[in-house]
Amino acid sequence: MTRVKAIAAGNAHCLALMTDGTVRVWGSNAHGQLDLPPDLVDITAISAGGYFSLAVKDDGTVTAWGSPEWGLTWVPEDLTDVASVAAGETSFAVAVHRDGRMTAWGNNHFGESDVSRWSHLWIESAAAGFTNGIALAGSAGPVVWGTYGRANAFDLMPRFSRAVSAVAAGGEHALALQLDGQVVAWGNPRNVAGQLDVPPDLTDVVAIDAAGFYSVALKRDGTVVSWGSETRPKQPTNLSDVVAVAAGAEQCLALTSRGKVVAWGSQADALPAELRD
């Protein structure tokens, strides 16, 4: 039976990568976010940006679709051998290659597509926010570029007490998950929505994500915790048995161990019945 193996959430649309390499989409199609390319098969990784999406095929090539005005519907001609992608909440994106290189493209008004500073590092994964990016560079830990609002991202990098296993990017903030299960948040010092205020009792975290002005964390016991903007999607009660989370500006997703999806926020009702947990 085909199951969901990965999830992604954009501003108002969502993606699910199925075990057969196909992609399901739902939510708003105001900017063509749901108009899947007809040849979208053999997919190994997905990412949803503000108004566009990216998918990696098993041959290492990348496909983009959505809004040409408010997103990205193109990829560099020489973009090959890609392992994963990160679609920004604005018009930029990042690709991590199988050989550890990193490529960024799209808008560069705030340095969000300039990753040349980190070309000497082996990159494991990357995430993209409004005008900020973050990548996990193995033993070197997280590296950042772009801006958090008007603040230079590099200047705000914190120190970590433990090695980092995962990173995430929000609108004007970033997250790092340490190997001890603790989450570190940093970004625009104004902290207008409390997005930097990690709950003090948050421990045993195994996965993180962020979007806009809020964040979500998956705990080892399969429960989910969120913090930040008071207008963030309202999490359902009794949510459990979760193995992955994905945050979008207007909605949030959880993937359960049964290969099904739980959705909350503006596009929850649009979740296809066959994907519902």
CATH code, 4-275:
2.130.10.30
219 DSSP assignment: E
Angle at the Cα of 57 from the Cα atoms of 53 and 58, rounded to 5 degrees: 155
CA 37 distance to own-chain centroid? 21
pLDDT given for residue 1 in this prediction: 76
Specify whether the CB–CB gap between 136 and 164 falls below 8 A. yes
Specify whether the CB–CB gap between 13 and 29 falls below 8 A. yes
Phi-psi region at 198: left, alpha or beta (left = phi > 0; alpha = psi -120 to 50): beta
Note the pLDDT tens digit of each residue in 170-198: 999 999 999 999 999 999 999 999 999 99
Give the dihedral sign, CA 215/175/166/72: positive
Give the dihedral sign, CA 8/190/202/177: positive
For residue 186, the SS3 value is strand
Phi-psi region at 63: left, alpha or beta (left = phi > 0; alpha = psi -120 to 50): beta
Residue 119: how many CB atoms within 10 A of its CB?
A: 10
Angle at the Cα of 77 from the Cα atoms of 74 and 79, rounded to 5 degrees: 90
Tell which residue, 53, 60, 67, has the closest CA to residue 97.
60
Phi, psi of 269 (to 5 degrees): -70, -20
Amino acid occupying residue 245: V
Q: What is the pTM of this model?
A: 0.97
Integer Cα distance of 214 and 70 in angstroms? 21
For residue 97, the SS3 value is strand
Specify whether the CB–CB gap between 244 and 218 falls below 8 A. yes
**What is the Cα gyration radius of the chain?**
17
* Spans of the chain, pLDDT less than 70: none
For residue 118, the SS3 value is helix
User: What six digits make up the tokens of 206?
Assistant: 């195994």
pLDDT given for residue 90 in this prediction: 94
User: What six digits make up the tokens of 185?
Assistant: 């948040």
Domain boundaries, the chain: 4-275
Note the pLDDT tens digit of each residue in 210-248: 999 999 999 999 999 999 999 999 999 999 999 999 999
CA 59 distance to own-chain centroid? 22
